[in-house]
Amino acid sequence: MLDTLKKNPKFAGRRGPVVLLIMDGVGLGKYPDGDAVKAAYTPELDKLLKSCPNTSLKAHGTAVGMPSDDDMGNSEVGHNAIGCGRVFAQGAKLVDDAVTGKAVFAGETWKKLIANVMEHNSTLHFIGLFSDGNVHSNIAHLRAMIEEAKSRNVKKVRIHILLDGRDVPETSALEYVEPFEAFLAAQNCGGFDYRIASGGGRMVITMDRYGANWDMVRKGWETHVQGKGRYFKNAVEAITELRISSKAIDQDLPPFVISDDGVNPVGPIVDHDSVIFYNFRGDRAQEITNAFEDDNFEHFDRGCRPDVVYAGMMEYDGDLHVPKLFLVEPPVIDRTVGEFLCANGIKQLAISETQKFGHVTYFYNGNRAGKFNQDLEEYIEIKSDIVPFEQRPWMKSAEITDTVCTAIESGKYRFIRLNLPNGDMVGHTGNFAAVITAMGAVDLSVGRIAEAVRDAGGVLVISADHGNADDMFEHSKDGSIKLDKNGVATRKTSHSLNPVPCIVFDPESKGEYKNELRPGLGISSLGATCIELLGLEPPEDYDPSLLIMQ
């Protein structure tokens, strides 16, 4: 049980709630071309930026616990940083250190996986996102594990690749597959048999999250485990032909299975095999993990579930201990904002739609699935539509806003946190026009919530977890737009490295703090800022508040 926070002698708080509004994927772009945030009609945000204290916050790289400042931020690490008020080394860095330092290969889980295939003369399988985006996975970790498996004399390896095109350029799959096929060919001497066995786009198979679309997981299960699907001779052929037939970018390519004879798949998962899901990020890893591990699984018919040794790259849920076996210990995140507020008896509401519900709950609370206090916390999930995001770029912003405004008016909550996913989820489609509409929807929500906060005498803190919608075109080092062979701007579907905005709207301010925010900080400082606005003193080890008290 945490000690309570002390009252802030310089600021007693307001009569209304503190509302933290996360505009997911909305950064401050550095290029005028391709910045859908600047291109959109956002009169409410523009008004607040002109009239309220505001600044920019770091939201990528070491500022959110990633290995280097070349690494994009993402919603997982962003909400971790916002919710725990300081920076922890995240999955990408922890796994990279464990793999490069070879500590992972000395662990009991790795030894068990290898011993299983050696005992049964069976297959070692790898499933995961096939890129170096370093958001969910890194292909470098896969290469290192394959090399280590060969050094342990594992004769048969099969890789099931989830094509990215979301954290990396949208049609870059062959840039990863072709050199990887050459890498595998180099391993295949002296009786070793290492091959790609299946694959498909990450937004079509396997990597669903928050139960939004279990049919994705079913398709992945049939593809990877059962070897069912459209057959191709190799992954290059599959990607090339599926791009033509589906006209889809990598993340949306249909599933495929590799077969030499057009009848038998080269790598179904069968009894006594070992399986590693090598994504380190947990949200899109949990459902396929459940399909492998749950005895009472009801989401789709798995057929005959193979008896395998299954492990994740990390523990994806520390409360439920999913998966049972994992290769690298996750970060231990404690003493979060939510836990401190519960210790102080502060009633809280967390709300988003399905696509980001886990971010304002699980990730915000330091990778904790449950509540700290059932009486003081309420979580509301607005069910997301199962349609391509560019077809509904407004998503559920209106429904989220309806609920938040009602909650503000009710007076029940002292702290409300919400996530509007539009800038991120629509930004990942690469559809510039759709993102313009998405930002318009976000702006309407900002205006409505600001009005409700004004009427209630509260404070609204507006920020983001990372950039995306602010950088929709690929740029060269000199800042020019990269053009495709037809002279059209190359779309960018990944997150940006840009900072994000922070605005404090405090209509009943009495000058307790300066009309400017402390510069040079990261999104982890939002934790201390919200605590101060609630009239409390932040913990001493939290990153500094953005407020400069008078």
Mean pLDDT value of segment 447-475: 97
Which domain range does residue 180 map to? 92-328
pLDDT for 89: 87
Task: Judge whether residue 188 has pLDDT over 80.
Answer: yes
Q: What pLDDT does 143 receive?
A: 98
Domain-located, residue 1: no
Assess whether 263 and 408 both reside in one domain. no
Does residue 264 lie within any of the structural domains? Answer: yes
With 80 as the cut, is the pLDDT of residue 1 above it? no
Question: Both 301 and 397 in a single domain?
Answer: no
Rounded Cα distance between 69 and 337, Å, is 26
Domain holding 394: CATH number? 3.40.720.10
Is 6 part of a structural domain of the chain? no
Domain closes at, from 308, 328, 348: 328
At 477, is the pLDDT very low, low, confident or very high (cuts 50, 70, 90)?
A: confident
Instruction: Please work out, in degrees rounded to the nearest 5, the angle formed at the alpha carbon of residue 262 by the alpha carbons of 259 and 267.
Output: 25
The per-residue pLDDT for 90 is: 87
5 part of a folded domain: no
Task: Decide if 75 is catalytic.
Answer: yes
Residue 14 lies in a domain: no
Q: How many CA atoms lie within 13 A of 262 on its CB side?
A: 0
Q: Does the pLDDT value for residue 91 go beyond 90?
A: no
Residue 322 has pLDDT above 80, yes or no: yes
Q: Average pLDDT of the chain?
A: 96
Which pLDDT belongs to residue 486? 87
- Whole-angstrom Cα distance, residue 18 to residue 459? 5
**pLDDT category, 2, cuts 50, 70, 90?**
confident
pLDDT at 369 over 90: no
The pLDDT value given to residue 514? 94
Q: Are residues 424 and 313 in the same domain?
A: no
CATH number (domain holding residue 260): 3.40.1450.10
Q: Is the same domain home to 414 and 544?
A: yes
Q: Which of 302, 328, 354 is the last residue of a domain?
A: 328
pLDDT band at 331 (very low <50, low <70, confident <90, very high): confident
Given this model, what pLDDT does residue 350 score? Answer: 98
Note whether residue 83 is domain-resident: yes
Tens-place pLDDT, residues 275-289 = 999 999 999 999 999
* CA-wise closest residue to 73 among 495, 362, 491, 365: 495
- pLDDT at residue 311 in the model: 98
Q: Are residues 82 and 179 in the same domain?
A: no
- 376 domain-assigned: yes
Structure tokens given for 327 = 């290769």
Residue of 51, 56, 75, 410 marked catalytic = 75
Are residues 96 and 85 both part of a single domain?
no
Asked if 423 and 317 sit in the same domain, the reply is no
| Cα 93 from Cα 100, distance rounded (Å) | 10
The residue from 297, 328, 359 where one domain ends is: 328
Highest mean pLDDT out of 7-11, 183-187, 319-323: 183-187
Give the Cα separation of 425 and 38 in Å (integer): 18
Same domain, 81 and 222: no
* 139, part of any domain: yes
3-state SS, one letter per residue, for 79-133: HHHHHHCCCCCCHHHHHHHHHHCCHHHHCHHHHHHHHHHHHHCCCEEEEEECCCC
pLDDT of residue 318: 80
Exposed e or buried b for every residue in 439-477, given b needs 16+ CB within 10 A?
bbbbbbbbbbbbebbbebebbbbbbbbbbbbbbbbbbee
Are residue 150 and residue 69 in the same domain, yes or no? no
Q: Examine the domain organization and report whether 308 and 170 are in the same domain.
A: yes
Number of domains composing the chain: 2
Q: Residue 454 carries which side chain, given as an amino acid letter?
A: R
Per residue in 207-240, pLDDT tens? Answer: 999 999 999 999 999 999 999 999 999 999 999 9
Residue 429: φ, ψ to 5°: -75, -20
Percent of the chain with pLDDT over 90: 93
Same domain, 418 and 277: no
pLDDT value of position 415: 98
Distance separating alpha carbons of residues 75 and 361, to the nearest angstrom? 12
Q: What is the pTM of this model?
A: 0.85
Are residues 268 and 314 located together in one domain of the fold? yes
Judge whether residue 372 has pLDDT over 90: yes
